Structure 1
Amino acid sequence: MIRLPPHLYKQYREFCVKSSIKNCDLTDYMMWLRYFLDFCEKYQVAGDEEQKTCLFLDKLQQKKQSEEKRRQAQHAISLYFEMIKGGSTIAQTAELQKPLSGSHEVHQAPIKYAHKSYYHEAGYQEKSASPEWDEVLQKLADEIKVRHYSRKTLKTYALWSRQFQRFLKNKPPEDLTTEDVKEYLTWLAVKCQVAASTQNQAFNSLLFLFRHALKRDFGELRDVPRAKKSLYIPVVLSREEIDSILAHLYYPYNLIVKLLFGCGLRLFECLQLRVRDFNFDAGVLTVHGKGKKDRTVPLPETIRDELQKQMKRIIEIHGRDLADGYDGVFLDDAVEKKFPQAPKELVHQWFFPQSSLTLMEETGEQRRWHVHESKLQKALFVAVRKANIPKRVTAHTFRHSFATHLLQAGYDIRTIQTKLGHASLKTTMIYTHCVPVRTIKEARSPLDF
């Protein structure tokens, strides 16, 4: 697939906007232009614009694209030729058709770092029937952005706020009362019979909405029925089961799982590791956890060679990216504004980079993202089935196994709490229910003395 030069990308996008193309269709129009130019280069298409367009549309029909899609593609191409005839200063065809080096395909930018407001970043581009509620949701997004909360937090809070809005049938935000919240939470508990954790999530979302977006007191909710939270016993894998799963995983997912189990990492903590987080001399890994809390854990000696080989791969990929003129990796906006060249520095590169570059919709920049969590989850699902393990295994299962295996090895609960990054010891104590703890001071019955 060819790469659109940034100036062509920008000019064509602006031309589409001037031609009254909706924002929700811009990505498709950019895609059709890339497909068309790639088609012309691949098949060495000759002739005028009408002939090229007809041949391209015939190809789309062979690919069983719908009539609606073909009409959209035809319009996208016609806008391109119209832009050229209008005298726009764009690069020549030979320059436009330079392919990306290697296997650098172009994907839509991850929502988290698109240069838009947080409201759009969480996937809430569509406005509702109530402008007042849209304004409140934007305030909610702004408050979350100021506090540097994660995109998932924004997505969750905005989702519950929208559901609350629909439940109240677009009741004006200024007329909301505590009774509305009670009625909604009661409906969730009694009619929907949601789990206790879901109720708490809805409660916290609406609490944030009232306090920070609406700027009013939440009040007391003593009479709201709440589901009783049951004791959760996490799924734990034996060492033999873990080895069996690893035998059915391929690179890079086998190395990711080894770090999940070997260091007790959450999935996002592992995927968001960067070059700077590894200290091979000290044998220490710095982990950036939830709530901007950092911790250090020892690097497993058994995979030190694999980790160092991965580091060499990163250096090679980084060198190729620099030679290709890429725009760096994704960083927090604050860091990038302060240090504009930071995205291209080696220390900030992802330790598990995505195999392809990512296209920023609005700027035309080519950036590097890390391996997507869905890729690991799919590979893990297949590996567990092939290993014939009759347990519900997720990426988080290896973190549970890490803690449980340490307990079995005689480590005290406080040490495990520190390694897991738990704020409360109560959270760590759940692992004492998984298996009997075999320590030097193992409890025994006096009858057995």
Structure 2
Amino acid sequence: MSDNSANTPRPRLLVQVRDCLRYRHYSLRTEKAYIYWIKYFIRFSGLRHPQEMGRQELVCFLTHLAVERDVSASTQNQALSALLFLYKTVLEVDLPWLEGFERPKRPAHLPTVLGVAEVERLLAQMQGTTALVARLLYGTGMRVLEALRLRVKDVDFERGLVVVRDGKGNKDRVTMLPRCLEAPLKAHLLAVQAQFQADLATGRAGVALPHALARKYPAAERQWGWQYVFPAAGFSVDPLSGAVRRHHLDPKQLQRAIRKAAQAVALVKPVSPHTLRHSFATHLLQSGGDIRTVQELLGHKDVSTTQIYTHVLDRGGVGAVSPLDRLPQHG
């Protein structure tokens, strides 16, 4: 039997990139971002194959991003990560200079944090499912996608906790479930379960499962515990499998609802769903919470990341009094 493997054409470059990303379980968002930057790099370099290019072309491309497009350091780093993945993992090209390439430094910015009264006004303005998600973000410190990807089985009402699966860095962790959210969450899940049962009756029930669980447990996609706590209102096509099913709530819906509520209560600070996570951490520290506990709840790898919230708590040099306030005519 002859070996025809040598005559089999290799897939196109971007197909190879996609296959390598999916084999390593990168998220769909990362896949889209990496493919975007690799395509951009190839177009910018005159449609030359990356194997024909080297340090000069890469430096020129990153300089273009910084100088002509004026992108942020984080965007530059994302583009560099995409090219590192292309050369090292996909093309398997040994380029020592690329490993040691200096990454752009991200400037340190203090996060936007709402006051307790501002959070109260914001949440009071919201209604429906997006209001429940927003309260959960502020009450648990979860990231937006962590909350939207939450499965029914990972909400533990008895112990008052939420299990966050595959958080940043593909790590699991546990965070608190606010007692005040137990009743509204249970009522919400009753409605979601009724919708799920209706989908089962029409043969359209099913949910995307992480990694290879769909092959290992083929019936799990139709089990109640694996369903999303916050499913989408309608069906959509899964871009990875092509299956038609309910995805989770679109993050854009939450973003729009929070932005609209912030405008309605005249908040002058820029507010996004992530602002609620920042506010959770700051208010927890403000009420006497231990920084190591906050680090664990947020899922930070290093406590130095959590320490930025201690800077938010500082009031003008750790509470020092301004000289102007000491003048009699102003005091």
Question: TM-score category by the smaller chain?
Answer: 0.7 to 0.9
* Residue number in structure 2 paired with 1:334: 212
**C-alpha distance in structure 2 between counterparts of 1:295 and 1:390, whole Å:** 34
Q: How large is the Cα RMSD of the aligned pairs?
A: 2.7
- Kindly state the Cα deviation for residue 307 of structure 1 after the two structures are TM-superposed: 1.3
Contact 2:25 2:211 in 1 (8 A): no
1:430 matched to 2:314? The reply is: no
Q: Secondary structure at the match of 2:132?
A: helix
- Kindly state the Cα deviation for residue 314 of structure 1 after the two structures are TM-superposed: 2.3
- Kindly state the Cα deviation for residue 333 of structure 1 after the two structures are TM-superposed: 5.7
- Kindly state the Cα deviation for residue 309 of structure 1 after the two structures are TM-superposed: 1.2
Deviations 1:298-355 (A, max 9, x none): 1101111111112222222222222222241222362112222211111111111112
Q: Secondary structure at the match of 1:291?
A: coil
Larger displacement relative to structure 2 (285-294 or 192-201): 192-201
* Residue number in structure 2 paired with 1:195: 72
Q: Secondary structure at the match of 2:173?
A: strand
* Residue number in structure 2 paired with 1:406: 284
- Alignment gaps of 5+ in structure 1: 1-130
Q: Secondary structure at the match of 2:96?
A: coil
> Which of 151, 154, 174 pairs up with 2:28?
151
After superposition, the Cα gap between the structure-2 partners of 1:206 and 1:222, relative to the gap in structure 1 and judged at 3 Å, is: closer
Q: Secondary structure at the match of 2:236?
A: strand
- Kindly state the Cα deviation for residue 138 of structure 1 after the two structures are TM-superposed: 1.5
After superposition, the Cα gap between the structure-2 partners of 1:394 and 1:362, relative to the gap in structure 1 and judged at 3 Å, is: closer
Identity %: 38
After superposition, the Cα gap between the structure-2 partners of 1:211 and 1:359, relative to the gap in structure 1 and judged at 3 Å, is: closer
Q: 1:25-424 to 2 correspondence within 5 Å?
A: 135-220=12-97, 228-288=105-165, 289-332=167-210, 334-359=212-237, 366-424=244-302
After superposition, the Cα gap between the structure-2 partners of 1:432 and 1:136, relative to the gap in structure 1 and judged at 3 Å, is: same
Deviations 1:242-297 (A, max 9, x none): 11111221110111001000000100000111110111111111012123211001
* Matched residues, number: 310
Q: Given the two structures, how large is their TM-score scaled by the length of structure 2?
A: 0.86
Q: Secondary structure at the match of 2:225?
A: helix
Q: Given the two structures, how large is their TM-score scaled by the length of structure 1?
A: 0.64
Larger displacement relative to structure 2 (192-201 or 293-302): 192-201
- What is the letter of the counterpart of residue 376 of structure 1? L
- Alignment gaps of 5+ in structure 2: 1-8, 322-331
- What is the letter of the counterpart of residue 118 of structure 2? E
**C-alpha distance in structure 1 between counterparts of 2:42 and 2:150, whole Å:** 38
- What is the letter of the counterpart of residue 336 of structure 1? A
**C-alpha distance in structure 1 between counterparts of 2:175 and 2:104, whole Å:** 37
Q: Secondary structure at the match of 2:294?
A: helix
* Residue number in structure 1 paired with 2:324: none
After superposition, the Cα gap between the structure-2 partners of 1:266 and 1:190, relative to the gap in structure 1 and judged at 3 Å, is: same
**C-alpha distance in structure 1 between counterparts of 2:27 and 2:241, whole Å:** 23
**C-alpha distance in structure 2 between counterparts of 1:139 and 1:365, whole Å:** 23
Q: Secondary structure at the match of 2:221?
A: helix
Deviations 1:119-160 (A, max 9, x none): xxxxxxxxxxxx99x822211111111111101111111111
- What is the letter of the counterpart of residue 180 of structure 2? T
After superposition, the Cα gap between the structure-2 partners of 1:360 and 1:177, relative to the gap in structure 1 and judged at 3 Å, is: closer
After superposition, the Cα gap between the structure-2 partners of 1:327 and 1:224, relative to the gap in structure 1 and judged at 3 Å, is: closer
Question: Which has the greater radius of gyration?
Answer: 1
Deviations 1:215-265 (A, max 9, x none): 112332699887553221100011211111112211101110010000001
Contact 2:134 2:276 in 1 (8 A): yes
After superposition, the Cα gap between the structure-2 partners of 1:362 and 1:142, relative to the gap in structure 1 and judged at 3 Å, is: closer
